[in-house]
Structure 1
Amino acid sequence: MIAGRYLRARRKEAFISVIASLTMVGVAIGVATLIVVMSVMNGFRGELLDKILGLNGHFTAHPIESQFTDYQETVSKIEAVNGVSYAVTFVEGQVLASGRGASSGVVVRGIDEANLKKLNLLYNSAEQGGFDQWDDSRGVAIGYRLAQQLGVGLGDEVQIINPDGSMTPFGSTPQIRSYTVNVVYNVGMVEFDSLYMYMPLEPAQDYFKMVDEVLKPGQEPLDPLASDEEIDAAYERIGRVSAMEIFIDDPDNIAVMRDRIAAVDGLRPLILTDWRQRNETFFSALQVERVVMFTILSMIILVAAFNIISSLIMLVKDKGADIAVLRTMGATRGSIMRIFCITGTAIGFIGTITGFLLGLVIASNAENIRLFISNTFGVTLFPPDVFFLSSLPSRVDYTEVTVIVVMALSLSFLATLYPAWRAAQYDPVEALRYE
């Protein structure tokens, strides 16, 4: 009751009440800022991880010792491993893509429709056109940012140039072919939307010269003067792929899954590179940034805790006579400590709860707030070219939020101990001497 009374200011105590209110606001701002910033950092990491691993597997397998022609058999063996979701094979190469007066270096990936359907992020991201009848389309799919850069749209022609072309007596000549844009997709990540071009597997194998013609089993070598029909009957075309992406159930279970895949009987030799190795620098930088931001922003709550100390010390000075009267009426030093501990903790508690609610509201509506500010003031917040993503993601981690709330409440309580102890040490005689 007494602690609650001290929190309600009278006119002559307005200054102390203002200090306490500002301290409460400081705690609320600190807690809300920490929740919002950590939620946005979690959102960035989660979105980047989902999109990177939505198109690139948790493992990338490259063949060694021989050409990767037995890829279908290899996929069947790997998908049978416990913990493997699915595997996707593809042909990949770097080319120069040209549109209407503009050119850009792109990565072309050849993939068949069966494997394409496994990549839900890509398959469901078509904004123009669609991936139906993909194997028979003989066209390409490009990201919307790449389409803007090349100045092309659905149904337009894109010319791709591969420097590793045909051999002539004068050397190698570039291979130039044109393909129709059948799909314009948007996965929401700048790197993929501006760099990757997809085409059906067989045209990609043909373009990158990844098809071998070998004699059928039991077939005798043909006469050099054999007709085209005889050659087609005697030889079969065997395509190969560049690599394979392996997707597993638990992205963090890398070490165990690597051993399981390596232990598959009869599996051809493969070089396995996991997603952490491919993106080690990037995700390490994100983790360091999260730790640094948490540490720096925690200083706001620490400063608010020091404000609790200063406001309580002022309150103790102002309530010296009250403390003396309470002591003469039989209040123990423990009672006096409890009064001021409750007062200071209440300031921290109200500030923490207010910041908790405010932080959750802002974190849950981060993208809407970004759009409102951008549209109102005409500024671009979090440009996609810099932050990789086309929207501002936010994911609230309630374990992290609990840590923030507990930390704020703990600092608020610890800040009350010294002023409350000083109040309990007041000598009633000295306090009342000049009253």
Structure 2
Amino acid sequence: MSDSAEAVTSTAKGAGAFSAFEWMVALRYLRARRADGFVSVIAGFSFLGIMLGVATLIVVTSVMNGFHRELMDKIMGINGHAFLQAVETPFTDWDDVAGKTEKVPGVKLAIPMVEGAAGISTQFGQSGVLVRGVREKDIMRLPGVTGNVKDGSFKGFDAGESVAIGQRLAENLGVAVGDKVSLLIAKGAQTPFGVAPRIKAYKVAAIFSIGMSEFDNVFVYMPLAEAQAFFNKDNEATVVEAFVDDPEQMDAFRANLEKAVTRPIIVTDWRQRNKTFFDTLQVEKNILFIILTLIVIVAAFNIISGLTMLVKDKTQDIAILRTIGATRGAVLRVFLIIGASIGVLGTIAGFVLGLLLAKNLDSIRVLLNRTLDANLFPAEFYFLSRLPAIVDSREVTMIVFMTLVIAILASIYPAWKAASLDPIEALRHE
């Protein structure tokens, strides 16, 4: 036996688990050579499949998280977390109820409102809107509205007969600050001939853009006293909206509220009003996660097929390794290293690509819109004016861990088949 053969034999016999010898053999098999180029092509496709699967999962989960957070912020930035409505008696004590509600622990503010549906029109168009009557001091504390004023101001809002409208509504009606709009309701003044419709013109004092097209096209704000007169609510409010510090702790808030407010009221919260919406969003996220996981599973099948073909191609090499002293465990670990290497490299590449895409998703959307001269994310369909993405480290960790487990599991069967080869039978047919 030559010196080199003896060295290989002693290395094979004395090497421990996952030793340098096993890594050397595994890396040699991973190299693309002319004889086994087809196997390397399959390994390349496995790598690409895992990379794209991981990247897609990270991007999709980040977008769904972004949708959830943005919609929650937009909805809760203009709507309250809890809604108090009077029963049995008219809601004329709304100021007292709002004051008691604000004293409940965890409440940031409580705003009395008069809400009602109306029609709005100009010479350029008309639409249906939801009119909200609020006091100037209250609307100034609503960051979702006053923090997004595009034109005009809420200063002196209580003094004049004016309204504030959303930017999309202003565009549809063709109006700007200072122009007038007409509001119409079916139930106006009582006359000898019945109830007559009420129509009144108001000056546009401010235009806001919340960033959620559904709200920017529907909400109209007017002074509380004017709304009470317009909707025939004599010193009444229709609802008191409460904004809390922690929207997830609504049960504790409601228990404290019942102790603070003794008059008969009905309390609903954001979970009841938006339950179907957010539940649907979560179901869509789960379904997309399952569907996109199939990309990783398909890539794992490519690992199985690639390793199986590699085992068949390297049958003689495996038999020689066994003959010179390599154990079944060593052969098993060699092919586990090959499959795991494809999985680990593909996962790392997908992780980096997914994070890069998720962090720059809206910039990519803008670039594609300019390049293709198209609108890939129309606000009127998706409610939001931008494409949000929030990377959740826990979800990314779960995706990476899941992919690595799938890749390692996919490598077990071909590696076991390689370790089970009988060297005598393998060499007899050569």
TM-score by length of 1: 0.91
Given candidates 258, 262, 266, the residue that maps to 2:258 is 262
Opposite residue 187 of structure 1, the aligned amino acid is I
Where does residue 135 of structure 1 map in the other structure? Answer: 158
**Cα shift at 1:258:** 1.5
Opposite residue 189 of structure 1, the aligned amino acid is M
Where does residue 152 of structure 1 map in the other structure? Answer: 175
Where does residue 385 of structure 2 map in the other structure? Answer: 390
Encode CA deviations 1:293-333: one digit per residue, 9 max, x unaligned: 11111000000001000111111111111111111121111
User: Take 1:407 and 1:183, find their aligned partners in 2: how far apart are those partners?
Assistant: 51
Query: Do 1:74 and 1:267's aligned partners in 2 also have CA atoms closer than 8 Å?
Result: no
**Cα shift at 1:378:** 1.7
User: Take 2:294 and 2:224, find their aligned partners in 1: how far apart are those partners?
Assistant: 55
Where does residue 403 of structure 2 map in the other structure? Answer: 408
User: Take 2:160 and 2:364, find their aligned partners in 1: how far apart are those partners?
Assistant: 42
Given candidates 271, 278, 281, the residue that maps to 2:276 is 281
User: Take 1:363 and 1:394, find their aligned partners in 2: how far apart are those partners?
Assistant: 6
Query: Do 1:77 and 1:267's aligned partners in 2 also have CA atoms closer than 8 Å?
Result: no
User: Take 1:162 and 1:46, find their aligned partners in 2: how far apart are those partners?
Assistant: 35
Alignment of 1:284-303 (within 5 A): 284-303=279-298
Q: SS in structure 1 opposite 2:362?
A: helix
Where does residue 317 of structure 1 map in the other structure? Answer: 312
Alignment of 1:79-94 (within 5 A): 79-94=102-117
User: Take 1:113 and 1:365, find their aligned partners in 2: how far apart are those partners?
Assistant: 39
Query: Do 1:102 and 1:150's aligned partners in 2 also have CA atoms closer than 8 Å?
Result: yes
TM-score by length of 2: 0.92
Q: SS in structure 2 opposite 1:74?
A: helix
User: Take 1:345 and 1:359, find their aligned partners in 2: how far apart are those partners?
Assistant: 20
Alignment of 1:193-232 (within 5 A): 193-211=216-234
Structure 1 stretch 68-77 or stretch 342-351: which is displaced more?
Answer: 68-77
Alignment of 1:30-429 (within 5 A): 30-211=53-234, 239-264=235-260, 267-429=262-424
**Cα shift at 1:100:** 2.0
Encode CA deviations 1:231-286: one digit per residue, 9 max, x unaligned: xxxxxxxx22110111122212222222221122x532210111111112212211
Encode CA deviations 1:12-67: one digit per residue, 9 max, x unaligned: 22221111111100100111111111111111111111111111111111011222
**Cα shift at 1:341:** 0.3
Q: SS in structure 1 opposite 2:311?
A: helix
Opposite residue 313 of structure 2, the aligned amino acid is D
Opposite residue 188 of structure 2, the aligned amino acid is G
**Cα shift at 1:94:** 1.2
Opposite residue 254 of structure 2, the aligned amino acid is R
Q: SS in structure 2 opposite 1:346?
A: helix
Where does residue 31 of structure 2 map in the other structure? Answer: 8
Opposite residue 316 of structure 1, the aligned amino acid is V
Opposite residue 288 of structure 1, the aligned amino acid is V
**Unpaired segments of 5 or more residues in structure 2?**
1-23
**Cα shift at 1:105:** 1.2
**Cα shift at 1:156:** 0.4
User: Take 1:137 and 1:18, find their aligned partners in 2: how far apart are those partners?
Assistant: 74
**Cα shift at 1:134:** 2.3
Where does residue 23 of structure 1 map in the other structure? Answer: 46
User: Take 2:268 and 2:80, find their aligned partners in 1: how far apart are those partners?
Assistant: 10
User: Take 2:96 and 2:109, find their aligned partners in 1: how far apart are those partners?
Assistant: 13
User: Take 2:397 and 2:367, find their aligned partners in 1: how far apart are those partners?
Assistant: 29
Encode CA deviations 1:144-177: one digit per residue, 9 max, x unaligned: 1111111211110001112211111111111221
Query: Do 1:31 and 1:301's aligned partners in 2 also have CA atoms closer than 8 Å?
Result: yes
Query: Do 1:99 and 1:158's aligned partners in 2 also have CA atoms closer than 8 Å?
Result: yes
User: Take 1:350 and 1:136, find their aligned partners in 2: how far apart are those partners?
Assistant: 67
Where does residue 10 of structure 2 map in the other structure? Answer: none
Encode CA deviations 1:71-112: one digit per residue, 9 max, x unaligned: 222122112212222211111111111112311111110111
Q: SS in structure 1 opposite 2:389?
A: coil
Q: SS in structure 2 opposite 1:41?
A: helix
Q: SS in structure 2 opposite 1:142?
A: strand
- Name the count of aligned residue pairs: 407
Structure 1 stretch 275-284 or stretch 309-318: which is displaced more?
Answer: 275-284
Opposite residue 255 of structure 2, the aligned amino acid is D
Q: SS in structure 1 opposite 2:421?
A: coil
Percent identity for Structure 1 against Structure 2: 49
Q: SS in structure 1 opposite 2:248?
A: coil
**Cα shift at 1:381:** 1.1
Opposite residue 100 of structure 2, the aligned amino acid is K
User: Take 1:145 and 1:117, find their aligned partners in 2: how far apart are those partners?
Assistant: 21
User: Take 2:118 and 2:315, find their aligned partners in 1: how far apart are those partners?
Assistant: 81
**Cα shift at 1:68:** 1.7
**Unpaired segments of 5 or more residues in structure 1?**
212-238
Q: SS in structure 1 opposite 2:186?
A: strand
Opposite residue 423 of structure 1, the aligned amino acid is A
Runs of 4+ in 1 over 4 A off after TM superposition: none
**Cα shift at 1:362:** 0.7
Encode CA deviations 1:346-370: one digit per residue, 9 max, x unaligned: 0000001101111111111111111
* RMSD between aligned residues: 1.3
Query: Do 1:97 and 1:106's aligned partners in 2 also have CA atoms closer than 8 Å?
Result: yes
